[in-house]
Structure 1
Amino acid sequence: MFFGLELAELQIYWWVVLSLLGALLIFMFFVQGGQTLIDTLSTNELEKTMLINSLGRKWELGFTTLVMFGGAAFAAFPLFYSTSFGGAYWAWLIILFCFILQAVSYEYRKKQGNLYGAKSYEFFLKINGYLATFLIGVAVSSFFSGSEFLLDEHNFVVWEHTFRGLELLLNPYNYLLGLALIFLSRILGAAYFMNNIKNESIKFKASKQIFINALLFLPFFLAFLVWIFLKDGFFVDENHFVCMSANLYFYTFLEQPLLLVLLLLGVLFVLLGIYLGAFVKTACAIWTLGLGTILCVFALLLNVGLGDSAFYPSTTHLQSSLTIKNASSSYYTLSVMAYASLLVPFVLAYITYVWRAMDREKITREEIANDDHAY
């Protein structure tokens, strides 16, 4: 089948693919972060329209990445997909509703005769920017904190809390990553504006926002790392028995140095990107920040999936916790889908080409003022 890989190797392969898609999704949240900065960075309606059009040319990429992540999860780890999306559906419905608000806002903000006015759609963009980002951060944090569910003998999920995923908000530790992700997205959004818009006023304000949000992001992110390093993890032994183990995620980084190197490189690139954006005020800061973000998230997701731990743990029924072994598709499905995954580099190459083509000319006042089809 797929280059002679065994089932266990295919499971690892697909978790790596899923982790990479998750890391790319977090990077794409520069759109969400940018949406929360529209009023802060603009001094008049023209500058606001410049900012919205800058994001409007990229917002589909984030939504597409989210769909790809969900599709890969459904194909490779269907039990995870059904447990999370089917059990915690109130949380995911709110997230999806936020993305619907985003799509509608870009489409109708400047439409003549719209019932709600431009201000309403700008408010919808802020809802997407803050709420969707925060909830996805909380959802990712649950990979380490756990959820309340039971899998019966037929692998049907029984979610044991009436809040259906929103109970994750009752755990204050989940807020650490949720808030860190909000401030990181604002850093990325400000850096993206510096790269994409030719306007000195916006550039100066954006660099200032990078510094301010970095001061807020770093304490929450470092607190999240300290929490997962010190907390008990959901250990899975060779007999697939799940039990609690002290400092499991910290020891996984030590036992798999490549993951630790990826995390440290990611942190260094994020710090370098903050310096380049806030102090040097260079347009390339977005790429340094983006690379650092992808490496950090990639390392964290690999840790929880490839270590001796459950990547989607149950706090109420430990033996219902999901690992890449008990949550994956069959060998045949993983093999066939692995061949399809070989097309991903070509898709990424196409996205890169289109991105460069759209950004060849920076957004200017003159372009937006004379554009009859602006968002």
Structure 2
Amino acid sequence: MFENLSQLALQQYWWVIVSLLGALFVFLTFVQGGQTLIYTIAKNESERTLLVNTLGRKWEFTFTTLVTFGGAFFASFPLFYSTSFGGAYWVWLAILFFFVIQAVSYEYRKKPANFLGAKTYEVFLILNGAFGTILIGTAVGTFFNGAMFSLNQMNQVSWETSYRGLEAVLTFHNVALGLSVFFLARILGALYFMNSVESDDIFARSQKQLIYNTIPFLVFFLYFLIWLILKEGYAYDPATGEVFMEKFKYLHNLLAMPLVLVILLVGVVGVLWGIGSSILKTVSNGIWFAGAGTVLTVFALFLIAGFNNTAFYPSNADLQSSLTIVKASSSHFTLTAMSYVSLFVPFVIAYIWWVWKAMNSKKISDEEMQEESHVY
């Protein structure tokens, strides 16, 4: 089946899979967003324990999806992996550090003889929630704004700054995406608390946080989206592979791919509906509308970054070093073998959904924390 597909078809297939994994990861950052709210929404130790434990039941999903996203990118587009991770290693090491301290925090926060104290690990969770989301969003912003690398004829990477990827924060368009992800994660975290915690006080405070975080989210996201539509983009000639700048490139991508435009618009509406219904109607299921909207929106952004003859990882140091899905991909044999493995993905997703439903069959409560043998 897959072996009969062309190399380009396989490259496009795997860009769709990578895009979907990236979109699912952004949705799952509700864990990170919720962590930044544990001192804002919870007003005492028992409430903080409730919030940390409802997030603790899901943090591994986020971590595993991030690892799977990176693994799929490495296997399908190894030149991007070697270029970005081999050149911009400071930004990736920073991201790794903030996710490692998250794992340590959930493991040791309530351990007996914890000499650092629970508060130390709670601070680690907040740092992971803040810097983890902002740095990842900023790094993804380079898909649209470029990075400072060049490749030689052997595809060896040279990074043109000593900051090794951290210079991305000097481009405000990158930072705007990072802050959009940060505030979106906080919105999703608040919605998740409303859906999973049995407490009227926590529900009311989470609802209030929706208002506080929606305003900056809309400011930064609309800035990012409008500027993206208006800016020059990195196009390439499919016949020669030559990369060149094209005015309104990402607007052209949306118009050339109307299905992607529809996915983007439906996604944005889903996010706004989830937020609005939770604020105005005080419902507890807003996480599902906003979560589905997040997946669709991020999925569409990834598609316009890599499809329609677009360089998905542009170089600002040497334009012709920019990476495209054609230039960066694995061989036909590798993509074919991986494509058969990808057929198991729906079963994995179904298993995750089943586990999720089992864990959230009823809202977490103080009584459950007192009876539970394992508490984060």
Pairwise TM-score range, normalised by the shorter structure? over 0.9
Deviations 1:322-355 (CA, angstroms, capped at 9, x unpaired): 0000000000000000000000000000000000
1:97 corresponds to which residue? 97
What is the CA–CA distance in structure 2 between the aligned matches of 1:90 and 1:115, rounded to whole Å?
A: 30
1:330 corresponds to which residue? 331
Deviations 1:34-59 (CA, angstroms, capped at 9, x unpaired): 00000111121101100000000000
What is the CA–CA distance in structure 2 between the aligned matches of 1:57 and 1:325, rounded to whole Å?
A: 39
TM-score normalized by structure 2? Answer: 0.98
Shift, 1:86, TM fit: 1.3
What is the CA–CA distance in structure 2 between the aligned matches of 1:344 and 1:255, rounded to whole Å?
A: 29
Alignment map for 1:16-95 (pairs within 5 Å): 16-95=16-95
Q: Which amino acid aligns with 2:127?
A: I
Answering whether residue 201 of structure 2 is matched by residue 201 of structure 1, we say yes
Shift, 1:368, TM fit: 1.0
What is the CA–CA distance in structure 1 between the aligned matches of 2:83 and 2:217, rounded to whole Å?
A: 31
2:355 corresponds to which residue? 354
What is the CA–CA distance in structure 2 between the aligned matches of 1:373 and 1:264, rounded to whole Å?
A: 42
Alignment map for 1:273-288 (pairs within 5 Å): 273-288=274-289
Alignment map for 1:137-286 (pairs within 5 Å): 137-238=137-238, 239-286=240-287
The answer to whether the 8 Å contact 1:142/1:312 transfers is yes
What is the CA–CA distance in structure 2 between the aligned matches of 1:254 and 1:309, rounded to whole Å?
A: 14
What is the CA–CA distance in structure 1 between the aligned matches of 2:190 and 2:256, rounded to whole Å?
A: 37
What is the CA–CA distance in structure 1 between the aligned matches of 2:172 and 2:214, rounded to whole Å?
A: 21
What is the CA–CA distance in structure 2 between the aligned matches of 1:342 and 1:276, rounded to whole Å?
A: 36
What is the CA–CA distance in structure 2 between the aligned matches of 1:327 and 1:178, rounded to whole Å?
A: 25
Deviations 1:164-185 (CA, angstroms, capped at 9, x unpaired): 0001111122111011111100
What is the CA–CA distance in structure 2 between the aligned matches of 1:163 and 1:278, rounded to whole Å?
A: 42
Which has the higher mean CA deviation after the structures are superposed, 329-338 or 154-163? 154-163
What is the CA–CA distance in structure 2 between the aligned matches of 1:283 and 1:307, rounded to whole Å?
A: 39
Shift, 1:248, TM fit: 0.2
Deviations 1:264-294 (CA, angstroms, capped at 9, x unpaired): 0011001101111222121110000001000
What is the CA–CA distance in structure 1 between the aligned matches of 2:356 and 2:301, rounded to whole Å?
A: 27
What is the CA–CA distance in structure 2 between the aligned matches of 1:112 and 1:183, rounded to whole Å?
A: 34
TM-score normalized by structure 1? Answer: 0.99
The answer to whether the 8 Å contact 1:110/1:118 transfers is yes
Note the residue ranges of structure 2 that are not aligned, 5 or more in a row.
none
2:291 corresponds to which residue? 290
Q: Which amino acid aligns with 1:32?
A: Q
What is the CA–CA distance in structure 2 between the aligned matches of 1:211 and 1:169, rounded to whole Å?
A: 27
What is the CA–CA distance in structure 1 between the aligned matches of 2:124 and 2:138, rounded to whole Å?
A: 21
Q: Which amino acid aligns with 1:218?
A: L
Identity of aligned residues (%): 55
Shift, 1:3, TM fit: 5.7
RMSD: 0.9
The answer to whether the 8 Å contact 1:207/1:279 transfers is no
Q: Which amino acid aligns with 1:161?
A: T
The answer to whether the 8 Å contact 1:46/1:369 transfers is no
1:300 corresponds to which residue? 301
| SS class of match (1:326) | helix
Q: Which amino acid aligns with 2:48?
A: K
What is the CA–CA distance in structure 2 between the aligned matches of 1:51 and 1:178, rounded to whole Å?
A: 24
Deviations 1:347-367 (CA, angstroms, capped at 9, x unpaired): 000000000001112101111
What is the CA–CA distance in structure 2 between the aligned matches of 1:210 and 1:154, rounded to whole Å?
A: 50
Shift, 1:213, TM fit: 0.6
What is the CA–CA distance in structure 1 between the aligned matches of 2:120 and 2:373, rounded to whole Å?
A: 21
What is the CA–CA distance in structure 1 between the aligned matches of 2:173 and 2:368, rounded to whole Å?
A: 46
Q: Which amino acid aligns with 2:218?
A: L
Deviations 1:244-267 (CA, angstroms, capped at 9, x unpaired): 111100111011101100100011
What is the CA–CA distance in structure 2 between the aligned matches of 1:197 and 1:286, rounded to whole Å?
A: 13
| SS class of match (1:325) | helix
What is the CA–CA distance in structure 1 between the aligned matches of 2:340 and 2:323, rounded to whole Å?
A: 25
